[in-house]
Every structure is written in C-alpha cells, then in structure tokens.
C-alpha cells in the first residue's frame, strides 16, 4: 500500500471485490465520522444508487431515484482488507449485504439450461 | 493454436469496426464520391485505433482493468455516466443495424419475410452467445470474417491506377477546393475517421483481453494482435474505397444496401464470388452485432461493478447476462419498426465521435502513469501518438454535429 492515500483517486469510483474475488459494486461515496479533536476520520464506503445519486445534478438524481430506488449499503472501513486497483474486502459480499440484485437475478436465471 | 489463436480477437474486433454494415456502405460511397482522395483518412484512423487499442489491451494485460472502470475512475461519476449513456446508445443502434443487416442477407438467400428473419436473427444471437465460450466466438467469427478478403482480391482485379492510389495516402482537399464539395469531403473525412476509431472496438478489445486471461507477459502478443487485426481491417477498408471508385462510380451505382456490395464480387467472380462475399458479410455483421451487444453489457457491468465475462456461468454474472440479452432484444425492436439499418448507423457514428475523447482520455491517462503501470507504462512514442490523436478526435468531435447538419448527413 502507498504511504499516503488519495481517497478521490485511489478509493472513490473503484471496484469493490469480496474475499472470493467476486465484484460486488463500486465505491459510490465515502462516509466520514468525527474523530478525536474533531478531525474527520474515514468511517465507511457507501455502495448503491442511494450513494451515487447524491453526486448527480438534482433533476437526474430524482429521475434515477425513481428508476433505481435509493438503496445503499454501508461497508465499514474496517472490512477493507487491501487496496490495489480495486478495494478488496475481508468478507463475502453476501455477509456485507452487497451484490443482492445479482443473487436475485441468478436464482431466476438458474432455471434456464446452460446457466 | 494457443497464443496464435489470440490473433482472432484482433481480427474480430477490427472486422466489427471496419466492415460492419454501416462502414461497408459508407466506405464504398466514399470511394464512389471522392475516388482515392480519402485514403489518407483510413491510414490516419487505423494508426489511431491501433494506438488506443494497444494501450487498452496493455492495461488489461498488466492491471486486468477494463476501459469503463478507467472511465469512471478518471472522468468522474457524472462525465462517466454521460459517456456510458452515449456509448450504450451507439452500441444498441449499431447492434440494431447489424441485426438488420444479417436479416437482409438471409432474405437475399431465402426470400423469407424480413421481420420473421429479424426474430430468427435475435434467437440465433442469443443462443450463440449463451452457449459459446468467448474464445470460440473469437475464432468462429474472426475466421469467418476473413472471407471478406474476397473484396481485397476484387480490388486488385479491378486494376486501379496504383500511382493515383498511392497519391491518395497524402492529405489533400478535393478539386476544385472550397464550397459544397469541400464541406461534403470534410463530413466524409470526419465520419470515416470516427467510424474507424469507433470506441466500442476499444471497450470490446480490452474486455476480450481480460476474458482471454492476458498476463503482463502478453504485452508483446497484444501489440502483434493489434497490428495484424487492424492492418487487415484497414486493407479491407482501402479495398472497399477502391471498389467504390472503380466499380460503382463508372456504373453510377449507389451502394445503399449490403447486397449491392456483393454484386461487385459477383460481377468479377460469378456465383462463387457472390456466395463468398455474402458469407463474409454475414460473419462480419454477426461479429459486429456480438461485439456491440457484449460491449454494451461489459460497459454497464464495469461501470456499476457487477461480475462480468463469458468465462463465467450466466448465474455467476447474472446482471451481465441479462444486459447483453436485453441489448439484442432492444436492437431487434429498433429494426422491427422498419427503420433503415444503414441510416441507423449514420446516426450512431456521429454519436460515437462525440464520446471518443471521453472514452480515450482515461485510457491515455492510465497507460502513461508509471505509478500504475510500472515498467509497462507508455514510452515517448505511445505518449506522443496518444496526445496527437486525443487532440485530433476532440476537434473531430466538435466538428461532427455541425457537419452532420450542414451536409444533411452526407446527402448533399
């Protein structure tokens, strides 16, 4: 890991990959908490439409909330195992509530031959 | 086979970009209108697409990162989303044109109704992509597309004036310069450049490198694949320009349908020429349909962080699988409306030139970054060419829409 971390460049908008190497979203936003002496401390990664919508122009945010909902998953910073080109997590996506729609679509697709 | 077979990724990518239905007719028309005067654009565009596919392929081999991950990372979320929307539109429209083109070819051979054949084409594509591993898609459609070489043989057989052909590779304006002709020539030049440097070629190529599990040691292979694949595509484009000038211009024929292109082969080589040309076009259009549908699904999955790839079972990359199926369905619906596939492509070419700078900037930014790429970062040549083409496509992107309107989409 590099000695200094550039959050905007090295974390935000990077792939999130779980412990099994399964992609389970992107770092759509970053949450800070107030640390000792009031300094901001990195608290969690936010994943999902509810996180990226806040980065859109207002009108688009309303339209996309209507289209995709406002769900978002909070991944505590402590769950991050390694930072490379992607953000690697220490646990499985299902344990952290990530990749839900993929699993839902999979249960439906499984019925087809060759899936 | 082994490493050698990787060359089919380059061939399939280039075929899907250089001789898909839109560019096939567009290039013939460019030759018919301006003879050899636009050949230098083919050369310019080919070097450009080689430069950017080489960089994207190198990033895929070294960092296993695909183009849309880079776009989101480097352009930011909003600009990345804009690029995603525009690129998806281009992919769906181009895919629609190719599905239409395949149905038109089947109609020529069978005489069955066009709309029924469109549905048959939809089923064909979904079954092929669902059931065929990526490396076999590469091999089947790359190899089949090689039948298009019949157009190269034909171009030589038409005995063009080789000195004038060579002169066409030097930049020039049509004579007399100025006025309407120059405007048309500029439109054709920009559209030809854009259609050779189509962004989906880069998206697909880099994703293909990841599908084929390239490693850092494959960077030389990547270079060879790019050079062989795109040189072949360029030679085909040059051949089509020559055929436009030598066959269609003297006969005052307007090659508005793909079947017309096959006529030129039939005229010289009889029935065999006709069938080889039709079969070659089938593989080229079908390859382009698959390339654009997969490219749309790759882009979406990479942008949103979904699992993707044909090496995974559909249940393990479920939203990716649903995405490419949805693209084929949407594409078929577009051509079902009865809209002319070729005019669909004309619109998509103009859209694609607008997304070119947004797609290519992140590729250059990462490929030149030693902090990310280490010893595999761009050398001075790749950097110089990368910047040159970035400026060129930005100018082309700014000029594309006004030219499109001023020339009534090249209709004069």
Instruction: Say how far apart CA B5 and CA B1 lie, in whole Å.
Output: 5
Three-state SS at B198: coil
Residue A1 within any structural domain of the chain: no
Band (pLDDT 50/70/90 cuts) for residue B389 is very high
Q: What is the DSSP letter of B188?
A: H
Instruction: Specify the DSSP class assigned to residue B197.
Output: S
Bridge partners, A45 (sequence order): A30, A75
Question: What's the pLDDT score for residue A50?
Answer: 92
Work out the average pLDDT over B375-392: 96
pLDDT band, residue B40 (cuts 50/70/90): very high
pLDDT band at B412 (very low <50, low <70, confident <90, very high): low
Higher-confidence residue of B228 and B411: namely: B228
Across B309-314, average pLDDT: 92
**Cβ <8 Å between A114 and B76:** no
Has residue A36 got a pLDDT over 90?
Answer: no
Rounded to an integer, the average pLDDT of B282-307 is 95
Query: Is a pLDDT exceeding 90 seen at residue A51?
Result: yes
Q: What are phi and psi for residue B321, nearest 5 degrees?
A: -65, -45
Does A83 fall in a domain?
Answer: yes
Q: Specify the CATH number for the domain of residue A72.
A: 2.30.30.240
Domain that holds residue A13: 7-109
**pTM score, two decimals?**
0.93
Q: Could you tell me where the DSSP H helices lie in B257-379?
A: 258-304, 318-336, 341-367, 370-373
The predicted pLDDT at position B149 comes to 93
Of B86, B135, B63, nearest to B351 (Cα)? B86
- Residue A24: the pLDDT is 93
Rounded Cα gap, residues B171 and B173, in angstroms = 7
Distance CA A7, CA B160 (A): 59
For residue B292, name the pLDDT band (cuts at 50, 70, 90). Answer: very high
Q: Which two tokens stand for residue B399?
A: 């000029």
Tell me the CATH number of domain B2-406, given options 3.40.50.2300, 1.20.1740.10, 3.50.50.60, 3.30.360.10: 1.20.1740.10
The interface predicted TM-score (ipTM) is 0.92
Alpha-carbon distance values, A65 to A26, A53, A58, A62, B87 (Å): 18, 7, 11, 5, 22
The reply to whether residue B319 touches residue A105, judged by beta carbons under 8 angstroms, is yes
d(CA B90, CA B93): 5
Q: Domain for residue A51, yes or no?
A: yes
Pick among B315, B316, B319, B371 to test the A interface (most A CBs inside 10 A): B315
| A1 has pLDDT over 60 | no
Residues of A with CB under 8 A from a CB of B: 9, 13-16, 22-26, 28, 47, 52, 55-57, 85, 99, 101-103, 105-106, 108-110, 112, 114-115
* pLDDT at residue B230 in the model: 94
Q: Domain residues of chain B, as ranges?
A: 2-406
Of A47-56, A65-74, B195-204, B322-331, give the range with the top mean pLDDT.
Answer: B322-331
- Report the pLDDT value the prediction gives residue B76, as an integer from 0 to 100: 85
CA distance A37 to chain B (A): 32
Domain count, chain A: 1
Tell me: the pLDDT tens digits for B45-63? 999 999 999 999 999 999 9
Encode pLDDT of B333-364 as tens digits: 999 998 888 888 877 777 777 788 888 999 99
């Amino acid at each position: 890991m590099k000695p200094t971390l550039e959050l905007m460049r090295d974390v935000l908008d990077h792939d999130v990959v779980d412990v099994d190497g399964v992609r389970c979203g992107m770092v759509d936003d970053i949450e800070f908490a107030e640390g000792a002496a009031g300094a901001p401390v990195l608290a969690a990664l936010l994943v999902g439409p509810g996180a990226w919508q806040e980065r859109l122009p207002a009108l688009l945010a309303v339209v996309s909330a209507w289209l995709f909902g406002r769900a978002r998953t909070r991944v505590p910073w402590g769950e991050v195992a390694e930072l490379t080109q992607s953000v690697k997590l220490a646990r499985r996506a299902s344990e952290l509530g990530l990749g839900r729609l993929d699993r839902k679509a999979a249960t439906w697709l499984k019925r087809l031959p060759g899936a | 086979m082994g490493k050698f077979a990787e060359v089919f990724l380059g061939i399939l990518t280039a075929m899907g970009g250089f001789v898909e239905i839109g560019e096939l007719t567009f290039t013939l028309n460019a030759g018919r209108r301006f003879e050899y005067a636009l050949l230098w654009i083919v050369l310019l565009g080919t070097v450009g697409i080689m430069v950017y596919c080489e960089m994207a392929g190198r990033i895929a081999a070294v960092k296993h990162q695909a183009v849309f991950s880079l776009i989101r990372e480097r352009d930011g979320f909003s600009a990345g989303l804009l690029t995603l929307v525009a690129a998806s539109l281009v992919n769906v429209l181009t895919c629609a044109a190719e599905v239409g083109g395949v149905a038109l070819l089947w109609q020529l051979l069978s005489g069955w109704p066009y709309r029924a054949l469109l549905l048959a084409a939809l089923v064909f594509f979904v079954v092929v992509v669902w059931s065929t591993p990526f490396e076999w898609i590469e091999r089947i459609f790359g190899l089949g597309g090689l039948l298009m070489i019949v157009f190269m043989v034909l171009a030589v057989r038409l005995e063009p004036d080789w000195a004038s052909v060579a002169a066409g590779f030097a930049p020039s304006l049509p004579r007399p310069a100025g006025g309407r002709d120059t405007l048309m020539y500029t439109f054709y030049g920009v559209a030809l450049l854009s259609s050779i440097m189509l962004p989906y070629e880069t998206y697909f190529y880099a994703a293909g490198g990841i599908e084929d599990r390239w490693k850092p040691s494959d960077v030389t292979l990547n270079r060879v694949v790019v050079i062989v694949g795109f040189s072949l595509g360029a030679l085909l484009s040059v051949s089509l320009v020559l055929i436009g000038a030598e066959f269609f211009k003297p006969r005052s024929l307007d090659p508005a349908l793909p079947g017309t292109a096959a006529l030129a082969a039939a005229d010289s080589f009889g029935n065999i020429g006709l069938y080889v040309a039709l079969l070659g076009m089938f593989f080229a259009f079908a390859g382009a349909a698959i390339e654009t549908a997969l490219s749309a699904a790759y882009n979406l999955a990479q942008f949103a962080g979904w699992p993707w790839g044909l090496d995974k079972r559909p249940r393990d990359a479920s939203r990716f699988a649903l995405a490419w199926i949805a693209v084929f369905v949407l594409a078929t619906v577009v051509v079902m409306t009865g809209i002319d596939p070729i005019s669909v492509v004309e619109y998509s070419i103009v859209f694609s030139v607008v997304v070119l700078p947004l797609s290519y900037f992140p590729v250059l930014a990462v490929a030149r970054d030693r902090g990310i790429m280490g010893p595999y970062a761009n050398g001075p040549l790749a950097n110089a060419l990368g910047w040159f083409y970035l400026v060129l496509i930005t100018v082309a992107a700014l000029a594309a829409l006004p030219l499109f309107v001023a020339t009534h989409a090249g209709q004069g």
